[in-house]
Amino acid sequence: MKGKRILVTGGAGFIGSNLSNHLAKRNEVIALDNCYLGTPENLDDDVIFAEADVLDEELPTDVDAVFHLAALSSRQMLEENPQQGARVNIEGFVNVVEQAMEDGCETFVYATTSSIYGSQTDPCNEEMAVKAATGYDASMMGRERYAEYYSDFHGLTLAGMRFFSVYQGYGGNEEHKGEYANTISQFADKITEDESPVLWGDGTQTRDFTHVMDIVRGLELAAENELDGIYNLGVGNPYTFNEMVGMINDELGTDVPSEYEPVPLENYVYHTHADPSKFKAATGWEPEITFEEGVSMVCEPYKEQEKGERESERLTE
């Protein structure tokens, strides 16, 4: 995209800030965030930051395109306060679309979730049955249904992107998420501190880990191609948690063992596996960062820090 005025809701969050910073290189970008799950420290100087809530009555929606990423984005948040979760994830979505539509915007790309597929070892395509096993799932499915309505009755284009296990690492814009960060980021941080990562079950559960910059490119392509409907955005090559911990140890030159605990949740998703062929056919998108490369990128800041500490010690000897 080039020369556009763009609104990114949740724009100071993990995915939103990476998208905002990328788009701001060639566009005017407004990153809207209420700072509950985001921080403006993630944003580059050329991004316009607007501290606001997606439920507000007056939003900066006079734009060419909206990327709606704002959400209460975890199962735990929705279980603790299901009413607020529904308001933010569904009513907030409707509020942003309504205001932007009134301002003449017709292009929307929004975040939904792959967790509605449940546990699947086979590749999941967009025609598969989905289920609301949690309140978070229900809120994202509600978002998808409203998008269908706006497409059918108002002629808008709304691309719903079902993300699969997005990561970047604490060396990027994910650190502020803390306990809500992707497991690879949390585990790498623990292993660096010589702490054993805690894996639920036996560590054979799998995730289709997708680097945030591949997500960013996908979101931009969805808008450029004015896609409408639901699309998977994931690599299509899952790894087990055991494999992931082994790769982190190999990259860091450590040998920190994992600890294993019983799974504490009902409806726990043991496996995710994307079939991104629909999105690839529509846009030509291909993931550019393999998981091996991604693990190396997550671990690089720790290796640089260790190298700097060794150099400092050498100079003081």
**Mean pLDDT, the chain cut into blocks of 10 residues (317 residues total):** 96 97 98 94 97 97 98 84 94 98 97 96 96 94 98 97 96 85 94 96 97 98 98 98 98 96 91 98 98 96 75 59
Are 206 and 273 in contact by the 8 Å Cβ rule? The answer is yes
E strand intervals along the chain: 5-9, 28-33, 48-51, 65-68, 107-113, 157-163, 166-167, 198-200, 206-207, 210-211, 229-233, 239-240, 259-261
The percent of residues above 70 in pLDDT, for the chain, comes to: 96
With respect to residue 317, please indicate whether it lies within any of the assigned structural domains. Answer: no
CATH number for the domain harbouring residue 242: 3.40.50.720
Measure Cα distances from 192 to 131, 136, 186, 254 in Å.
Answer: 38, 32, 10, 8
With respect to residue 315, please indicate whether it lies within any of the assigned structural domains. Answer: no
How many residues make up the chain in this entry?
317
Positive/negative CA dihedral, 130, 136, 139, 144? negative
Angle between helices 183-192 and 241-252 (to 10 degrees): 40
With respect to residue 270, please indicate whether it lies within any of the assigned structural domains. Answer: yes
Within 13 Å, how many C-alpha atoms sit on residue 6's CB side? Answer: 31
Domain housing 149: 5-305
Quote the CA–CA distance of 35 and 217 in Å, as a whole number. Answer: 24
Positive/negative CA dihedral, 215, 221, 224, 225? negative
Q: What is the token pair recorded at 92?
A: 């907030």
pLDDT at 120: 94
The average confidence (pLDDT) of the chain is: 94
With respect to residue 310, please indicate whether it lies within any of the assigned structural domains. Answer: no
Q: What is the DSSP letter of 179?
A: G
Quote the CA–CA distance of 164 and 67 in Å, as a whole number. Answer: 17
Q: What is the token pair recorded at 25?
A: 């290189």
With respect to residue 312, please indicate whether it lies within any of the assigned structural domains. Answer: no
Tell me the pLDDT tens digit for each residue of 111-125: 999 999 999 999 999
Tell me the pLDDT tens digit for each residue of 251-301: 999 999 999 999 998 889 999 999 999 999 999 999 999 999 999 999 999
Percentage helix, strand, coil for the chain under 3-state DSSP, each rounded to 5: 45, 15, 40
With respect to residue 313, please indicate whether it lies within any of the assigned structural domains. Answer: no
H or E, element range at 17: helix 14-23
Q: Among candidates 17, 217, 38, 39, which has minimal Cα distance to 30?
A: 17
Number of domains into which the chain is organized: 1
Quote the CA–CA distance of 199 and 176 in Å, as a whole number. Answer: 22
Q: How would you classify the pairing of strands 28-33 and 5-9?
A: parallel
pLDDT at 101: 97
Q: Among candidates 113, 65, 73, which has minimal Cα distance to 232?
A: 113
Q: What is the DSSP letter of 87?
A: I
pLDDT at 317: 58
The percent of residues above 90 in pLDDT, for the chain, comes to: 86
